[in-house]
Amino acid sequence: MATASVRKPKLATYGRVADFDDDEIAAIAKALAHPVRVHIVRLLLEKRSCIGCDIVDEVGLAQSTVSEHLRILKAAGVIAGEVEHPRVCYSLNPDRLVPLAGLLNTVFEKDSRGELNGSICCPPSAFAPTKA
């Protein structure tokens, strides 16, 4: 029986995780911690910039709800909004995601080198999903 190979993500350099403050990383993660906000980020990845009303149409929620999600992303610096009266044009601020990317990149690097396997207190099998 052949075993399937697991494809590892290509690692990029985002700086050392120690270069970033824990509160900064947590604030970015918190801003992204909602499916609608992740959807907005994906939209902006596809379109590079987007007018607020277009985002409302794409997301399919009330304008006030989308505005609150945009406010949270903007407050965390994940997106930028430029006023072009009477509209606001939103775009991603990828530099703001570097601290979170650095943390995740460190996890992937250590995993690719096998440094996360076989911990005495938490063996990998402890994280395996259970079958219902």
Write out pLDDT tens, residues 30-71.
Answer: 999 999 999 999 999 998 677 888 899 999 999 999 999 999
Region 17-22 average pLDDT: 80
| pLDDT grade for 73, boundaries at 50, 70 and 90 | very high
The answer to whether residues 80 and 93 touch, using CB atoms and an 8 Å cutoff, is yes
Query: In this predicted structure, what is the pLDDT of residue 131?
Result: 63
In angstroms, rounded to a whole number, what is the distance separating the alpha carbons of residues 69 and 60? 13
Query: In this predicted structure, what is the pLDDT of residue 77?
Result: 96
pLDDT at 14 over 80: no
Percentage of the chain with pLDDT > 70? 74
What angle is formed at CA 95 by the lines to CA 91 and CA 98, rounded to 5 degrees? Answer: 130
The answer to whether residues 75 and 31 touch, using CB atoms and an 8 Å cutoff, is yes
In angstroms, rounded to a whole number, what is the distance separating the alpha carbons of residues 60 and 66? 9
Pick the CATH number of 20-109 from 2.40.50.140, 1.10.274.30, 1.10.10.10, 3.20.20.140: 1.10.10.10
Helix (H, G, I), strand (E, B) or coil at 99: helix
Region 103-117 average pLDDT: 85
Query: In this predicted structure, what is the pLDDT of residue 91?
Result: 92
Ordered by start, the domain boundaries in the chain are: 20-109
Query: In this predicted structure, what is the pLDDT of residue 8?
Result: 44
Helix (H, G, I), strand (E, B) or coil at 51: strand
Closest by CA to 16, choosing from 95, 79, 98, is 98
